[in-house]
Amino acid sequence: MSVADHLEVPRHHGLFKHHGIDLGDGTVAHYQEGHEILRSSIQDFSAGQNIKVIIHDNASSNDLTLRRAISRIGEQRYNLLFNNCEHFANWCKTGKHHSNQTEDFLKKSSLGAMAIGTIIPAAFWTTLNLLLKQDLTDKSTQQKAQKITKILKRLRLILINKLESTLQELEGLINTNQQSNTSPYQNQKTQALIVQGQNLGDQLNTIESVEVEITRLLKKAKSKK
């Protein structure tokens, strides 16, 4: 690792990946999930996990990468779909604001095709997709957005409970296997729980991100009045 490197580490037994920029002085600039861009020690950033360096074609100079990273420390506008830790790290390195994980996820599964589609009709997601492409300028559209926000909050609670239950079961299984001196990650049930946790995490983060975006659009619409 060296100054201005794009760093990646796994989170929650590999359920998620976290990104940051090496500032060259033993610290990393990164978007703490759901909070703000921090300057943390490499030890705190890695949390005991192996660090991977992401290589970029046509990367910006180290000096420009560092200036970009430092300029955004303290920012509090995290959003999984629109402004996550990978968006931040890619922008610092290339000047382009994108997330491969998010883009791949959206290409492979539309909101209506997600497992949560079994809880809420596909028509709901069609309406939601349309709302996210509008400015919510008329009263009728704003009312629809407010109703959808209430539904999303209820759905978020359901997913939180499911994810917490899955993580508790996963932690218990890993601890049991470690006590028996067997590799916990070779267990089929462990692998199934990890996949289940990843799916729930993707769904929960998507719900939270959409809530944030609808709230932003509603505030924008009100400010125009």
Residue 135 contacts residue 220 (beta carbons within 8 Å): yes
34 pLDDT band (50/70/90 cuts)?
low
Q: How many residues does the chain have?
A: 225
Of 130 and 97, which is predicted with more confidence?
A: 97
Q: Which pLDDT tens digit goes with each residue over 110-142? A: 443 444 444 455 555 556 666 666 666 677 777
Whether 2 contacts 22, CB under 8 Å: yes
Q: Which of 113, 120, 108 is nearest to 151 (CA)?
A: 120
**Nearest-angstrom CA–CA distance, 119 and 34:** 25
Q: Does 42 score more than 90 pLDDT? A: yes
pLDDT tens digits, 155-202: 778 877 887 788 778 777 767 766 666 555 556 777 777 777 767 776
Q: Are 102 and 16 in contact (CB under 8 A)?
A: no
Q: What pLDDT does residue 115 have? A: 43
Per-residue confidence (pLDDT) for residue 107, from 0 to 100:
46
16 pLDDT higher than 90: no
The maximal CA–CA distance of the chain, rounded, in angstroms, is 65
- Tell whether the model's pLDDT for residue 222 goes beyond 70: yes
Helix (H) or strand (E) holding 207: helix 188-223
